[in-house]
Amino acid sequence: MTDQPTRKATITLDSATSDREFPIYQISINAMRDENHGHGYRLMGPKYLGRSRNLRTVELTQRDADEIRAVLDEVFPPASPTA
């Protein structure tokens, strides 16, 4: 078995503007290969921010992943296998 590269899951909050009255934010969940590279899924905010600045990144734990799955399964139950 080959070793898989270590990845970490993050939730990231980005800001596209410095406008304090009408800020534009984006929240995404990401699978990071290293500090600056990975891919993700936008959960909230505009599709393209252009130049954005990272406000906060939180690394997810296994417990976080289990709790997120439990919430998603409650709202969107897994399809039952057909016989």
- Write down the domain spans for the chain: 8-75
- The CA-atom distances, in angstroms, between 23 and each of 7, 57, 70 are 31, 18, 32
Q: How high is the pLDDT of residue 4? A: 56
34-41 — which CB contacts under 8 Å span 24+ positions?
38/7, 38/10, 40/10, 40/12
| β-strand partners of 42 | 28
pLDDT at 75: 96
70: enclosing H helix or E strand: helix 62-75
pLDDT at 1: 47
Looking at residue 3, the DSSP 8-state letter turns out to be P
* pLDDT per residue rounded down to tens, the chain (83 residues): 455 556 788 888 888 777 788 888 888 898 888 877 888 898 988 877 666 677 888 899 999 999 999 999 999 998 887 75
